[in-house]
């Protein structure tokens, strides 16, 4: 075996332990000196807004299980057991919205989302329960198969209060990984952008402390003589002038004292600009348009609709595909994967305004590729009975094939010439039609 082959084999050898998210904060503390983790980051308004927007968007999308039809189409598999679990209740304690919102928030903060799969004897899914990503470790067995180790605390289960490790097979865990180094474990976006988030936390703390100390703590009281009790003077000053409620009060100085401010005002330190930039920086991490987190500086009536469409196309769509493929891989039986598939419906988010939708429906209806019931279903309206024409596909009568245009015109000309000959014949024979034509 060559040296290159030996190096290649050693590099590609599977690791025994992937350590879950234990390496999230391997690179040390933040430059701002603030502690940043998945929980403290949520106290930043921009992070909370981005996580909430994406989690609620994924949770609110209609989720269906479809079956392939023999004619090449598809239909909802309403009788499949998985349809009710994904669409309504994954487990007796959660709705589908809460379940997907929880897993999506885990995915955005920790980079991974886990759920335990409860199956029956035949392998069909009975329930799905979320698992915390910071307690999960992904390992590889000697035979190369992946298995999951979950660290359960004593307060998590009243049925089995003993703390310890729970080992789960790969078919017992729904794992949705985010962007990662190896394709198996996603890394935490909060850990990757901890300096930006730490700076945002530092800016918030600075602003809060500035307004809490309205006496401008960066100032100095100068006395011409020697003070016997400086602490008493400082406490007296703070008692009267400290705090936002005492701002702009007139100070009275005695014994020749002078107040010398040495602090830098927030305007000069570009405090507000820094906070605004950090909001855009965090929105950039999650690829959320700034107008969705409250920054409307660069938004207008002409471009905000386009930005919303780009949010669905470039932000939500990759997450949707990631969810769909993970659900199909983990929840469908091997014998079902060629006949069934899971799909989110994002059509509702891509809708335009009412006038645009009606114009689009009119074009589709007149050109024959949508029926009245197709349109009514998209607008969440009841179907028109088939006997009243609700399922008819109509086409504009003025439209015909180019090859038939001449023949169609020739037939009309022949009918016209025939009617003229018939009228002349009836006129010569004294037909009553002659009187009708004369009167006309």
- Per residue in 134-146, pLDDT (tens digit) is 999 998 888 888 9
* Most confident region among 36-40, 272-276, 339-343 by mean pLDDT: 339-343
Q: Which of 273-282, 286-295, 403-412 has the highest average model confidence (pLDDT)?
A: 286-295
Could you tell me if 111 and 186 are in contact, meaning their C-beta atoms sit under 8 angstroms apart? yes
Residue 22: phi and psi, rounded to 5, are -65, -25
394 lies in a domain? no
- Domain boundary pick from 286, 317, 350: 350
How far lies 183's CA from each of 10, 176, 177, 383, in Å? 19, 11, 8, 45
Tell whether 3 and 131 lie within a shared domain: yes
Question: Is the pLDDT assigned to residue 12 strictly greater than 50?
Answer: no
**Local confidence band at 160 (pLDDT 50, 70, 90 cut-offs):** low
Could you list the residue range(s) of the whole structural domain that residue 273 is in?
A: 1-216+269-350
Q: Are residues 317 and 202 in the same domain?
A: yes
Q: Return the pLDDT at 152.
A: 82
Instruction: Look at 44-48, 87-91, 163-167 and tell me which has the smallest mean pLDDT.
Output: 163-167
Residue 129 lies in a domain: yes
Q: Do 77 and 162 belong to one domain?
A: yes
CB-based burial, 127-159: b 16+ in 10 Å, e otherwise? bbebbebbbbbbbeeeeeeeebebebeeeeeee
177 contacts 136 by C-beta, under 8 angstroms: no
The reply to whether 392 falls in a domain is: no
pLDDT tens, position by position, 313-371: 889 999 999 999 999 999 999 999 999 999 998 876 776 667 778 888 888 888 888 98
Listed residue (50, 309, 68) closest to 193, CA to CA: 50
Query: What's the pLDDT band for 421 if we cut at 50, 70, 90?
Result: very low
* Predicted local confidence at residue 435, as pLDDT: 38
Strands 173-177 and 112-119: antiparallel
pTM exceeds 0.75 for this model: no
State the pLDDT at residue 28: 53
Q: Quick one: 312 and 244 in the same domain?
A: no
In a 3-state reduction of DSSP, which class is residue 42? Answer: coil
Shared domain check, 84 and 3: yes
Instruction: Indicate the residue among 316, 331, 350 that finishes a domain.
Output: 350
My answer on whether 4 and 41 are in the same domain is yes
Which residue, chain included where needed, has tokens 């929105």?
283
371 in a structural domain:
no
306 lies in the same domain as 424? no
Are 144 and 117 within one domain? yes
Does any domain span residue 162? yes
* DSSP conformational letter for 385: P
Q: How many domains does the structure of the chain reveal?
A: 3
Determine, yes or no, domain membership for 128: yes
- How does residue 156 score in pLDDT terms, banded at 50, 70 and 90? low
**Shared-domain flag, residues 235 and 173:** no
- Summarised one tens digit per residue, pLDDT across range 60-95 is 999 999 999 888 888 999 999 999 999 999 999 999
């Amino acid at each position: 075996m060559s040296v290159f082959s030996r190096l290649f084999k050693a590099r590609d050898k599977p690791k025994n332990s992937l350590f879950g998210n234990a390496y999230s904060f391997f690179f040390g503390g933040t430059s701002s000196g603030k502690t940043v983790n998945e929980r403290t980051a949520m106290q930043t308004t921009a992070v909370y807004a981005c996580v909430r927007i994406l989690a609620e968007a994924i949770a609110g999308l209609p989720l269906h299980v479809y079956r392939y039809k023999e004619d090449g189409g598809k239909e909802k598999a309403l009788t499949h057991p998985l349809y009710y679990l994904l669409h309504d209740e994954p487990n007796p304690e959660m709705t589908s919205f809460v379940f997907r919102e929880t897993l999506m928030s885990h995915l955005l903060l920790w980079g991974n989302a886990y759920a335990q799969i409860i199956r029956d004897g035949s392998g069909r899914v009975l329930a799905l329960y979320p698992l915390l990503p910071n307690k999960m470790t992904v390992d590889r067995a000697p035979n190369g198969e992946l298995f999951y180790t979950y660290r359960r605390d004593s307060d998590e289960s009243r049925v089995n209060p003993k703390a310890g490790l729970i080992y789960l097979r790969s078919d017992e865990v729904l794992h949705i990984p985010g962007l990662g180094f190896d394709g198996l474990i996603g890394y935490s976006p909060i850990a990757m952008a901890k300096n930006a988030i730490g700076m945002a936390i530092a800016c918030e703390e600075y602003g809060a402390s500035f307004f809490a100390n309205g006496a401008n703590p960066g100032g100095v009281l100068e006395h011409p003589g020697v003070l016997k009790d400086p602490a008493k003077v400082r406490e007296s000053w703070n008692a009267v002038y400290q705090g936002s409620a005492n701002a702009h009060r007139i100070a009275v100085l005695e014994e020749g004292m002078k107040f010398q401010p040495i602090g830098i005002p927030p305007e000069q330190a570009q405090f507000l600009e820094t906070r605004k930039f950090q909001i855009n920086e965090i929105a950039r991490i999650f690829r959320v348009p700034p107008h969705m987190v409250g920054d409307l500086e660069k938004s207008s009536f002409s471009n905000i609709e386009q930005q919303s469409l780009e949010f669905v196309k470039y932000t939500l769509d990759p997450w949707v595909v990631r969810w769909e493929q993970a659900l199909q891989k983990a929840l469908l039986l091997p014998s079902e994967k060629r006949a069934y598939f899971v799909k989110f419906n994002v059509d509702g988010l891509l809708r335009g305004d009412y006038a645009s939708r009606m114009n689009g429906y009119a074009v589709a209806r007149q050109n024959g590729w949508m029926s009245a019931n197709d349109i009514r279903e998209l607008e969440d309206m009841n179907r028109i009975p088939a006997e009243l024409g609700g399922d008819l596909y109509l086409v504009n009568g003025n439209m015909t094939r180019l090859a038939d245009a001449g023949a169609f015109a020739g037939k009309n000309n022949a009918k016209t010439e025939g009617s003229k000959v018939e009228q002349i014949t009836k006129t010569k024979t004294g037909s009553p039609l002659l009187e009708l034509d004369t009167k006309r």
